[in-house]
Chains A and B, each alone.
Chain A
């Protein structure tokens, strides 16, 4: 995203703002233990956890801020937060 003079921008640009850069911990999903309940997608404040074609859940790391709510809510403990090095 090129800088707008005076930090100005038209509305609707949050999609361009890849909030994934804020992340310290990344959620790692374990498909072996996942029961596909979808709680992770439901609680994600960024709305970035999606169900894929196989019916499994995965985060969009472009926008995942690493808040860890999905790990907190997962009844099967199949999500763990892993520290990312940048």
Chain B
């Protein structure tokens, strides 16, 4: 049923319908509303789950890790400093192949302290072995949670996922969201079947140590699972489209890319602004399009190459910075397009909640056409 609701509430409502058996989280702006809602749902018996209150994010994800190892479908949510505090557990959860789904309300990292949005937090955990999905709007963030559980719990995958949406820009924004009913979610998402689980009657140790003779092979197996997740996502996204009419079978999504000379590449809510800007530029006769990256991990390298055939110039919008070497998305897009002859320019933009307007997108396109890029866009040079 289509309802106007806050992004955080949409996430809580869809998570409830995904029937997690254990929820553990620690409140942190701008994620708080999600876990407040879920705590209320558990307290009022709307959601039959164990809600484990903890004293830190490290404990929250540790509790989730244990619960997942014990065979439960688990859920958590965090952002920014909270996610970074979880970092050690993140790597372990992936290595132990536990299909934990965690919402990230993307936020910048300190110092300086900032509660506002960019995507530095999840990008900083790029190499942790978690799948990373980015939503453009509140409908997509709700839908991606169902897909995430389906992909993660697939026994060919068995990896955890960050399901990301931009803090405040989406978490605190009211939009129309079509939430499927409990019966519809149940029809799409079967109950969790653990690959193996902790059981006192049948002891098992997970994530034990590996000598140099074995460690590399374990890392190789995680890497292979990440590559298999490409097809698993496409399949789960297609099934979602068949059942709900919203197709997510693409790791990337093109917007007005046919005959485009210049392509913008972006992830998350900024794609909405870019689409409006593309429409205006198209009206003015400019051949511009957008390629939205939905899954940053697994990285859609071949899909990017395929989607950008015929494009001469690419402008990547990075809401993160790998200090000392440009934006993470730009770096990987350049790697994917190596040898194609396409000029790729990277723009660090919108860090720490800096607003991006349609005219900024047009300005970025102008810069890319002039061959000026690999730079911070919109710096206030007067304060430097």
Which of A's residues lie within 8 Å of B, judged by CB?
A: 1, 3, 5-11, 17, 19, 21-22
A70 to B377, CA, bound (A): 67
Which of A6, A8, A21 lies in contact with B211, CB distance below 8 A? A21
Please indicate the chain B residues that have their CB under 8 angstroms from the CB of A21 in the complex.
211, 213
Chain A nearest CB: distance from B198 CB in Å?
A: 10
Q: Tell me how far the C-beta of B130 lies from the nearest C-beta in chain A, rounded to whole angstroms.
A: 14
Which secondary structure dominates where chain A touches chain B?
loop
Measured in the bound complex, the distance between the Cα atoms of B98 and A17 in whole Å is: 24
CB–CB A8/B218 < 8 A? no
Q: Which of A5, A8, A17, A19 contacts B205, CB < 8 Å?
A: A8
Can you name the residue of chain A whose Cβ is closest to the Cβ of B207? A7
Task: Check B218–A3 contact: CB distance below 8 A.
Answer: yes
How many angstroms from the CA of A21 to the CA of B212 in the assembled complex? 9
Alpha-carbon distance between A10 and B205 when the two chains are bound, in angstroms: 6
Q: How far is the CA of A51 from the CA of B231 in the complex (A)?
A: 57
Interchain pairs with CB closer than 8 A, number: 48
Chain B residue at minimal CB-CB distance from A3: B217
Known contacts A8-B196, A8-B205, A11-B205; decide if A3 and B221 are in contact (CB<8 Å). Answer: yes
In the assembled complex, 30 residue pairs joining A and B whose CB atoms fall closer than 8 Å, in A order, are A1-B214, A3-B217, A3-B218, A3-B221, A5-B97, A5-B195, A5-B221, A6-B96, A6-B98, A6-B206, A7-B95, A7-B206, A7-B209, A7-B218, A8-B96, A8-B196, A8-B204, A8-B206, A8-B207, A9-B204, A9-B205, A9-B208, A10-B203, A10-B204, A10-B205, A11-B203, A17-B211, A19-B211, A21-B211, A22-B211
Chain B contributes a number of interface residues (CB within 8 A of A) equal to 22
Measured CB to CB, the closest approach of chain B to A41, in angstroms, equals 25
| Complex alpha-carbon distance, A23 and B207, angstroms | 24
Q: Which of B90-111 contact A (CB under 8 A)?
A: 95-98
Chain B residues in 8 Å Cβ range of A3: 214, 217-218, 221
Interface: B158 (CB within 8 A): yes
Q: How far is the CB of A34 from chain B (nearest CB, A)?
A: 32
Q: Is the CB of A6 within 8 A of B205?
A: no
